[in-house]
A and B are shown apart, each in its own frame.
Chain A
């Protein structure tokens, strides 16, 4: 079974701030991590390989430093990894990103299954997985919490708002996974040594047959016109007193504001 997993290196979003004077992102000193949902996708791919045999190929599109993210997946046990990196990709939105990743997958993997995290924690769009599926004209199943592969089809349990839905999908397909699907493994010492020594293959737009008129900013229908810090809520009022007093005071305030 050939599995492709798309990952993204993201800043640890808890640390990202806006410079209020320039309204630009402050990236200095912010650690980079593998998008947590993508770690779950890698873990799921490794588990499926352990069960069904085959190969796990990791693909990321990003700047040269994304090699570190790929190395982490080698340490976890991935068979092959590729960095897709080109100046032509700069400024890609989800439309152009899904196109580029679809080109790379098509070129590099005889895929039975493509796994992605449900969304990246920086952009939070959840659009790239379905986008890849559309470019490759294969089915998508989003928000997976359980995947069982049986020959040329998979049974997938999806985590929805109020219910779980079980669907059957023929392979190949794109499946995006949620956090609850598994607990990503800690890389072994052997894995880490292997990752350290690994040479990471870097491919350009041309290498993956991506049409450069529709990659990067040129190929992106959307434009970010402004970024700004969210309005600060600021600490409110601390209600003090005995249990009875605080409860009375709170309910009174909520009633005055017609909330309860």
Chain B
């Protein structure tokens, strides 16, 4: 048998049909659904008189535009259009008989945090969702990627996707990370190196000692932003940490099935002599705590650096950098650590898990915020409950943070949590696009520890100075 990558193995195990030109029907093991990209898909099913082919493999949760303030179970406390979308998901989940976590359920949260938490996401699976950050689930060695609404409808109706195979890219992070450097710094640094189109046409497998050393939470952060590098998906081969995380989750296999699953999962790794179409290697020790300075996730620099000059770029990036600096209100040559911050947002499917909250709380303990406002939005109701139990919520509250309910919140600002024009935010989310967090809002992406550091000093800060 010819050597295979992890991606090759998962792909081969899911091809339900292949045409002569290589177009395949890829079977989908888990379909995650949220309120924003699904209403038109369910409507399409109704109009064509179709049903959901595998409702037991379909899981829905509202997350994108739900408020994160108390009383949100009452639709009157949502904007009318948000309430309509959430009500549509309620109805669609009921009508089509799919698994559902409503706003009132403590298990509700961001779809990419709920899936792994409930054991829906397992190694070797194919996972899709009408959301680009589906890449998150790749941390389990699952082939996971975002799809459009037409494809959501296609999966609902057929449990398959029409796909052609992507190329294989290996991103290896060797050695150890330095203190203060986290999974977020890894994933941002990779995008800084490859660019936001560097992964287009590829599935990335992240490997190397620094990746192995990460917790499952950290691995999810890394894979989450594979899409920001343009890749279809990001993957990390499952290992003992993965199995330990999965074991005992509500929808994880049990008993004899666990043993059978484990035996297969242990075969899910890239063979030594597998073929890679592209290889990127970064030394773990070379990665610093980073922030973004512009309006693309590739605009990444170590916190010790200065705002770059547009002239330091080439091609279309010169104009893009000019436009970015104008939008961000920044002058070339300004030290990044002198940029003052108005707001801090900790949360999102990138960094809304318990470990992220622990990392931020560690920096905030006994300190007060020096920014106008700061909020923590846990990724799920269960993350929130755990953080309260561990005393993290008190640390955040005492520091002056708002302690919110679970949802996507200010990552994409579809709910009332939005930046005002010119408001500058240190955010643990995944996109710094123009207007992403609110029209005219200025976003700097960073790790939870770095965001917490910015909260206590009021400007972008090297977290290592507070450690």
A and B: partners? no
Interface residues in chain B, defined as those with a beta carbon under 8 Å from any beta carbon in chain A: none
Interface residues in chain A, defined as those with a beta carbon under 8 Å from any beta carbon in chain B: none
